[in-house]
A = this chain, B = another copy of it.
Amino acid sequence: MAAPLHFYFDFISPYGWLASLEVDALAGRHGRTVEWHSMLLGVSVLKVMGLKPLLDTPLKGDYARRDLARALRKRGLQPRRGFDQPVMDPLPAARAFYWVKHHHPGQEAAFAAAVYDACWMQGLDLSSAQAVAAIRLPAGIDAQALRAGIESDEARGWLREAVAASLQAGVFGSPTIVVDGEPFWGQDRLPEVEEWLVRGGW
């Protein structure tokens, strides 16, 4: 089997959420798997790039709100979380992701999908370890162990390393899909990622 696609996302990113709903099926149509990577826009966009959050940027924020509403209509999605609700703290969910990746390897994508669903479709605020551990977890993941794991030094360390590695790989936005070493930024590039897989690059 060919190398996996790498899918970088932040749980607070609505475009990351939209891409998460499609990326595994897209890769599967071409015999590929996907490795999921939780990253932090608060580090790449705010600290390294020195930019404002997307929805707080003049003009672009209004555009994004309209574009997201259009994307929901297109997909028939009716999330309970509004795009202008206060942004949740992504750290507990991101630490949980790496704890699952290490302690339940192979289940991290299902876990991330469950987090995205809880956050966006169910509208839950997952800003605490308690809230993250209370979502519907993939089979075999124990809520109490997960909650302790989120607060562990090892989970903090794994997230720090992963965020540093994503920056090292040039990833700054959510979602970013890296296929055969080529980064594609933005949920709107999924069709081009698929074209890449069909043609074997260009």
Q: Which residues of A does B touch, CB under 8 Å?
A: 44, 48-52, 57-60, 62-63, 66-67, 70, 73-74, 167, 170-173, 182-186, 188-189, 191-192, 202
Per assembly, the copies of the chain total: 2
The residues of B that contact A192 with a CB separation of less than 8 Å are 188
Return chain B residues, CB-CB under 8 Å to A184: 67
Contacts of A70 in B (CB 8 A): 182, 202
**What distance in Å separates the Cβ of A68 from its nearest Cβ neighbour in chain B?**
13
> Would you list 8 pairs from A and B whose C-beta atoms are within 8 A, ordered by A residue?
A48-B58, A48-B59, A49-B59, A60-B173, A63-B170, A67-B183, A186-B186, A186-B188
CB-CB under 8 A for A63 and B202, given A49-B57, A50-B58, A58-B48 = no
Bound together, the chains give a CA A51 to CA B51 distance in angstroms of: 7
Q: Which residues of B contact A202 (CB under 8 A)?
A: 70, 73-74
Chain B residues with CB under 8 A of A172: 58-60, 63
The answer, among B51, B52, B63, for a CB contact under 8 Å with A57, is B51
In Å, the complex CA distance between A50 and B67 comes to 21
A131 to chain B, nearest CB (A): 31
Give the nearest-CB partner of A50 in chain B: B58
Q: Given A57-B49, A70-B202, A202-B73, are A62 and B170 neighbors across the interface (CB < 8 Å)?
A: yes
